[in-house]
A and B are shown apart, each in its own frame.
Chain A
Amino acid sequence: MKQIVILAAVILALSASLAAHHSAIQFDFTNSKAVTGVVKKFIAINPHMQLVLHVKDAKGERDIEFEGHSTNNMYRAGYRDNMIKVGDTITVYIAPLKDGSDGGYVTAALTANGTRFGMRSRAELEQERLKAEGKK
């Protein structure tokens, strides 16, 4: 429970810092979506990590560009050097674009070896709360 409270505080703090730092007007932070693909490009950088995934889904096969939290924020949420390499199959958790097109803002990732880093989005926290209460 204590960990959840701390995590929630971290997420809210990071969300606030995000709002203070960079225009994220195009992303819908009330929603969360998981996208799995093969890494074509990954740059751990500030202020926003850069990622291109090769994705196959119902819409077809294509490359999708993402950006995400700063490397520094991700580092403090578990990211370490070389966790993501070109060719890895990973899942990213994103705040999708408001217009529904491909792409989004990466808030967390599940690496090829199953390590998760990053923050749970507000939407994920809400989903977990509802699940815990048996409402979803």
Chain B
Amino acid sequence: MKTSIILFATCVSLISSPAWAQQPDFTGVWTTYNDPGQGPGGGGRGGGPPLPMTDAAKQKVAKYQALVQPTGDTPGGYCLGTGMPGSMLGSGGYPMEIVQRPEQIMIVYEAHNEVRRVYLGDRIVPEADRLPGRNGHSSARWDGNTLVVETGNLVEQVDQRYAHSAKAKIVERYHLEKGAKGETVLVADMTMTDPEFYTAPVTAVKKWAKVPNGHLLPYECAEENWIKHLEQLENKAGAKK
């Protein structure tokens, strides 16, 4: 009898208030949203006030910039994704798609097909099993209607606006609000802490507008180089004949 009551109570609890069903759904295609009067870029790309970098970080960034400045080379020019936090703050101005499940959120940035997997609950990868990368490992939890994403396990990156060391920790807080014309707007408040690169937390806000029935386009960045390579092979083969 006692067991039945507990089971019944559990079922009622699950049916009436599944935790995930109460959360906002970010699923869909999103493009950069600018508040009225704000310039393009959504606050995530380039420019902006100087960041509170440590002297050691400034030296690393200056060394990198001196290297690429004459040619204007960028990671994207070599089909390399931006990496966090640049991927979520700018993503080259291309749209992104979010597919949300209770235990995992997939974020696909159209530029370079850059993908982030944000894990919740049991899907979170144990610390010892994580490999570092440009987008790191992202775990999330809900704080009311706000999704709080914590990202670590990054690699040092001096090749983006928000340069950081491998020890950087990034917290994004996502919520929905209405834009100036009533459109659905996704807002991310980002805070990055990195004692090796910064003397104070770095913050930024990025906003996206929902694209009704939007679709991402394919983006095979390496195809151009592959075609050029084939042409070179053809030219070489032709020269031998």
A45 touches B77 (CB 8 A): no
A24 at the interface (CB under 8 A from B): yes
| In the complex, per-residue mask of A1-34: 1 if CB is within 8 Å of any chain B CB, else 0 | 0000000010011101101111111000000000
A23 touches B90 (CB 8 A): no
The complex places the Cα of A20 from the Cα of B81 at a distance, in Å, of 11
B45 touches A20 (CB 8 A): yes
B16 at the interface (CB under 8 A from A): no
Bin chain A's interface residue count.
20 to 34
The complex places the Cα of A67 from the Cα of B39 at a distance, in Å, of 27
**Interface segment out of the listed B66-74, B181-189, B198-206:** B66-74
Are A16 and B223 also in contact (CB < 8 A) when A21-B92, A22-B77, A25-B71 are? no
A16 touches B45 (CB 8 A): yes
CB < 8 Å neighbour of B77 from A12, A17, A21:
A21
A120 at the interface (CB under 8 A from B): no
A43 at the interface (CB under 8 A from B): yes
CB < 8 Å neighbour of B94 from A17, A19, A50:
A17
A23 touches B224 (CB 8 A): no
B133 at the interface (CB under 8 A from A): no
B219 proximity list for chain A (CB < 8 A): 46-47, 70, 72
A9 touches B40 (CB 8 A): yes
A43 proximity list for chain B (CB < 8 A): 224, 227
The 10 listed contacts between A and B (C-beta, < 8 Å) are A14-B93, A16-B93, A17-B111, A22-B77, A23-B72, A25-B71, A45-B227, A46-B221, A46-B224, A75-B217
Not counting A13-B40, A46-B221, a sample of 12 additional A-B residue pairs whose C-beta atoms are within 8 angstroms of each other reads A9-B40, A17-B45, A22-B76, A22-B77, A23-B73, A46-B219, A46-B223, A46-B224, A47-B221, A70-B219, A71-B217, A72-B94
